[in-house]
Amino acid sequence: QRIRSQNIVPCTVSQLLAAEQVDETFRIRDVEISQVTIMGIIRHAEKAPTNILYKVDDMTAAPMDVRQWVDTDEAGGENVVVPPGTYVKVAGHLRSFQNKKSLVAFKIMPLENMNEFTTHLLEIVNAHMILRKNLMSASRVPQSFASAGMGDVGGYGGGGSLPVNGLTAHQSQVLNLIKNCPVPEGMSLQELKLQLHNMSMSTIKQAVEFLSSEGHIYSTVDDDHYKSTDAE
C-alpha cells in the first residue's frame, strides 16, 4: 500500500551502482527506490531466445546491464533489437544478483529528441534533491513522489494553467480545501471530488500527488486521506 514503492525515479547509472540493498529494497543515500529511469547510449545488444541483454552507457560509470524479457507468445514473433549507438530511455526495476546490479526493463525507447536527454539530466538532480529534502524534513514526511514518468507532459503534476506561487489553480483549490478541513483524519479524495465539481478524480489525484511530493500535505489514516503540513 506504500505509495513510495510506486515512484519512478530518474537516476544515473552511478547512483544505481552505489545503491544499497536492504532485504528487498534499494536505497540511494537513504531514499528508497524501485522503479527507475535511465537514459544512455546502447553499447552492446545481445539477443537470446527469451530476452535481450543491452549494455546502456550514460557516461557516469561503466555501462549497465539492462535485460528486456521477450514476449515469446507475441504474434509475429520478434522483438526488435535496438542497435548499438542509439540513445534510449529505459524504465525498469533495479535488481542485484551476486552483488552485480542490473535493470529489468519494462520499456526501452529510442530518443527521438535529444533535448529530452538534457531534461533528464535536470530531472535527476531535481528528483534526488526533492527526495532528500522530503526525507530530511521533520516528522510529517510526505508519502508520495510524483515524477515525470515516460511520456508525461508537463512535468511534476502540471495543471495546465500557469502556476501562481508555484501552484496551479487546481492545486491551490485542492490545497485550500485540505487546509481548511477540521477533521482529525483530514480530507478524503471522495470529499474533495464532492466539493470540486469542476475537477475529475484523476485531476484531483494528480494535484494531491504533486502537493504531497512538494511537502504541502501528507497522508493520514490511508492513502485517501490528507492533511496540510501548515499546522493550524
Partner 1 sequence: MGDVHEVPRRRVATAHLAQHIGQPVCFVGRVEKIHPTGKFFVLSDGEGKNTTVELREPLDEEISGIVEVVGRVTNQATIMCMSYVQFREDKSPFDLELYNEALKIIHEFPEYFPFG
Maximal C-alpha separation, the chain: 61
Nearer to partner 1 by Cβ, of 6 and 118: the residue is 118
CB of 132 vs partner 1, minimal distance in Å? 8
Cell numbers representing residue 173 in the block:
483549490
Spatial separation of the C-alpha atoms in residues 160 and 163, rounded to whole Å: 9
Q: How far is the CB of 20 from partner 1 (least distance, A)?
A: 14
**Distance between CA atoms of 158 and 117, rounded to whole angstroms?**
20
Q: What residues between 58 and 77 interact with partner 1 by CB under 8 A?
A: 59-63
Nearer to partner 1, 64 or 146 (CB): 64
Size of the site for partner 1 (CB under 8 A): 28
Nearer to partner 1, 18 or 183 (CB): 18
Alpha helices, DSSP H, located in 23-168: 115-136
Does residue 132 interact with partner 1 by CB under 8 A?
yes
- Name which of 37 and 219 has its Cβ closer to partner 1: 37
Residue 155 DSSP code: S
125 binds partner 1 (CB under 8 A): yes
Q: Which of 86, 44, 85, 47 is nearest to 65 (CA)?
A: 44
Q: Which stretch binds partner 1 (CB under 8 A): 97-105, 111-119, 179-187, 203-211?
A: 111-119
Q: According to CB under 8 A, which one of 1, 98, 99, 113 is a site residue for partner 1? A: 113
The grid coordinates of residue 104 equal 529489468
Q: Quick check: 27 binds partner 1 (CB under 8 A)?
A: no
Q: How many residues does the chain have?
A: 232
What is the smallest separation between the CB atom of 131 and partner 1, expressed in angstroms? 9
Q: Which of residues 145-184 bind partner 1 (CB under 8 A)?
A: none
Kindly tell me which of 58 and 214 has the beta carbon lying closer to partner 1.
58
Least separation in angstroms between CB 37 and partner 1 = 14
Angle between helices 115-136 and 201-214 (to 10 degrees): 70
Question: How is residue 81 written as a grid cell?
Answer: 533489437
- Helices then strands (H, E): number in the chain? 5, 12
Rule CB under 8 A: say whether 15 interacts with partner 1.
yes
Residue 121 binds partner 1 (CB under 8 A): yes
Q: Is 92 exposed, middle or buried (0-12, 13-18, 19+ CB in 10 A)?
A: buried
Q: Give dist(CA 146, CA 127) in Å, integer.
A: 9
Binding site for partner 1 (CB under 8 A): 12, 14-15, 18, 29, 41, 43, 57, 59-63, 85, 87, 111-115, 118, 121-122, 124-125, 128-129, 132
